[in-house]
Amino acid sequence: MDMQLKKGLLDVLVLSTLLKEDSYGYRIIRDLAPVSEISESTLYPILKRLEAAKLLNVRTAEHNGRLRKYYSITKAGKARIDEFLSEWQDVMKVYRFIESERRLSESAPHDAN
């Protein structure tokens, strides 16, 4: 998959894990497991990028005697998800067109050239 496309998808995937409630790194990785394999070394730069873009907020809280960072989605983060869903409709139109053209070409007689 194209790296830029994958980067954009991962950003929105991470944001979507925060829609229901705040979360932390390990849990985000676990929540994404059914959809995408993501490592800590991939996740934390994404979280920093999303924080810098004001798409999520970070707070630190104690958990079992250790400090843990919790991430929450901002209004801008929710707007980014909405934007992605809108854009994805356009991508699906292109996908359906390409798929249809391919099916038509497979059923059409082919030239020997």
Q: Is 3-107 assigned to CATH 1.10.10.10? A: yes
Q: CA–CA separation, 17 vs 62, rounded Å?
A: 21
The residue extents of the domains of the chain are 3-107
Tell me the pLDDT tens digit for each residue of 37-58. Answer: 899 999 999 999 999 999 999 9
User: What gap in Å lies between CA 108 and CA 102, rounded to an integer?
Assistant: 10
* Rounded CA separation 96/113 (Å): 28
- pTM recorded for the entire structure: 0.81
Q: What is the pLDDT of residue 57?
A: 98
